[in-house]
Amino acid sequence: MKEVVLDTETTGLSVENGHRIVEIGCIELDNQIITDKRFHCYLNPQRKVSDEAKKVHGYSDEFLADKKKFSEIVENFLKFIEDKILIIHNAQFDLSHLNNELKILGKKPIDKKNVIDTLELAREKFPGSQISLDALCKRFRIDNSRRTYHTALIDCELLSKVYINLIDQKEPRLAFLENIGIDNLKKSNSDYCKRIIKPSNEELKNHEIYLKKSQKKHYF
């Protein structure tokens, strides 16, 4: 099963106030195992970054000025997430911004049915507890020391580990059975169990000496 852990950073909290996306990060999972496929970009939001948002992610207007616009990356982004389940922490926030960007371009919105919200999973699993990404990292003993700012790819890496813990899949599923076949695995195990390794004459002699020494120690 292919999934995509996704995170965005924005110029501010609300699309109603005209805020836009400044960064998108995506990491692909295959049976909960991180693959080498990633999608990442910084974006020119065509508006100023709010002071509050800058404190969160650290991206200045000057840094974003020469970056691509959402319209320039949208096709590659949609292709990357196509037919995959999206894993998002606090999906309502990210989806509102992503669907706003898609709406501006006349594109179809991302369907909520294709999204797993880890915030909701955490709320159900740990009612009344803190369920921010940092709090969940602490609960599951995941090292988040690199998270000095909220940056999309680092947050995706952390969220992928949190997600695996939230669904009680402490270790990624092993997919090697599909490659070698169950019958072949049984055969190899069976052949291995039938192998008998006989000790050499020297090993038998050393073992006999060891037993004699052990008996002397036992009696005295």
CATH of domain 2-166: 3.30.420.10
pLDDT in tens, 110-151: 999 999 999 999 999 999 999 999 999 999 999 999 888 889
- As a residue count, the chain comes to 220
Q: Is 83 helix (H, G, I), strand (E, B) or coil?
A: coil
Burial (CB count <10 Å: 0-12, 13-18, 19+), residue 200: exposed
- pTM comes to 0.76
pLDDT for position 216: 52
| Distance from C-alpha of 211 to C-alpha of 46, rounded to nearest angstrom | 83
| Distance from C-alpha of 4 to C-alpha of 117, rounded to nearest angstrom | 12
95 closest CA partner among 81, 192, 131: 81
40, 57, 97, 150: the active-site residue = 150
Catalytic residue at 150? yes
User: Domain coordinates of the chain in residue numbers?
Assistant: 2-166, 181-219
Q: At residue 219, does pLDDT exceed 50?
A: no
| Distance from C-alpha of 130 to C-alpha of 135, rounded to nearest angstrom | 6
Across 141-167, average pLDDT: 93
Number of other residues whose CB lies within 10 A of the CB of residue 208: 10
- Choice between 160 and 207, residue whose per-residue pLDDT is larger: 160
